[in-house]
Structure 1
Amino acid sequence: MSGLLPSEGNVDAGGEGTPRVHWLDDDETEQLIGCLSCDTARDILSSLHDSPATAKELSETVDTSIQNARHHLGNLVDADLVRIAGTRYSEKGREMKVYGPTDGPLVVCVGGNEGNREDFADAISSFLE
């Protein structure tokens, strides 16, 4: 049965994307910081920067349950830090999602007034590109 379905699947490793600049008082930033407040979520994100992986592979890498890995992956996807990069098939023929980090650097800024934020974000983006 191992030869019938591709176990490697098609995975988009991604490349360098556009830098994202967030401000500490933005709603998106609150969600981002909230999901990264847990060691397990940070370990999962770090692991995905090394190599795309399934929830099962990540649970083994970071030594947690698959349910916990899926919970944190859902939060990381919602915060736009992780994306579904492709699919693989298990030995039993089940389709599994393969996760990878979203492309591009992320910067969280503190302070600044509303009028300067867009210029500041443009300057940071051009520096990181």
Structure 2
Amino acid sequence: MASALPHQPPVDHAPEEETDVVVGQDSRTDVLQVLSSHTAQRILKTLKGDPKTASEIAEYVDRSVQNVSYHLDRLCGAELIEPTATWYSEKGREMTVYALTAERLVVRF
């Protein structure tokens, strides 16, 4: 039976070319804490190509969806990634699609 909802329509997302993190400003030092996680770094690397859902990312980084969701929340809070679309599973469940906010991260002191 065909679904009335589009399963994985194309995501139109273009990340910014660059974003800055200025060490010494309280509002942005959390970015460095988030980036200290190896899993978070692998998630960012996975998102470099195309936007993906949490379950797709979990498969790429070989972690549980719960663990990946934790890191996705932290990466969103640090404004390194953002939700860009919603896809629907074959069962009709909504799945958030995540993408990078910028192609490069520049740390300034």
* TM superposition score normalised by structure 2: 0.89
For residues 10 and 84 of structure 1, the distance between their equivalents in structure 2, rounded to whole angstroms, comes to 14
CA shift in 2, pair 1:43/1:18, >3 Å: closer
| 1:49-60 superposed matches below 5 A | 49-60=48-59
Q: Secondary structure at the match of 1:69?
A: helix
Q: Secondary structure at the match of 2:28?
A: helix
**Residue 33 (structure 2) pairs with residue 40 (structure 1):** no
Higher strand share: 2
Any stretches of 5+ residues in structure 1 without a counterpart? Answer: 111-129
Higher helix share: 1
Q: Alpha-carbon deviation of 1:70?
A: 0.5
Give the structure with higher Rg (CA). 1
Contact in 1 for aligned 2:58/2:68 (Cα 8 Å): yes
Contact in 1 for aligned 2:22/2:28 (Cα 8 Å): yes
Tell me how many residue pairs correspond in the alignment: 109
Q: Which residue of 1 aligns with 2:82?
A: 83
Q: Alpha-carbon deviation of 1:39?
A: 0.6
Q: Alpha-carbon deviation of 1:20?
A: 2.6
Q: Alpha-carbon deviation of 1:79?
A: 0.3
AA of the residue aligned to 2:9:
G
For residues 52 and 31 of structure 2, the distance between their equivalents in structure 1, rounded to whole angstroms, comes to 21
Contact in 2 for aligned 1:9/1:88 (Cα 8 Å): yes
| 1:1-129 superposed matches below 5 A | 1-9=1-9, 11-15=11-15, 17=16, 19-110=18-109
CA-based RMSD of the aligned residues comes to 1.6
For residues 80 and 36 of structure 2, the distance between their equivalents in structure 1, rounded to whole angstroms, comes to 13
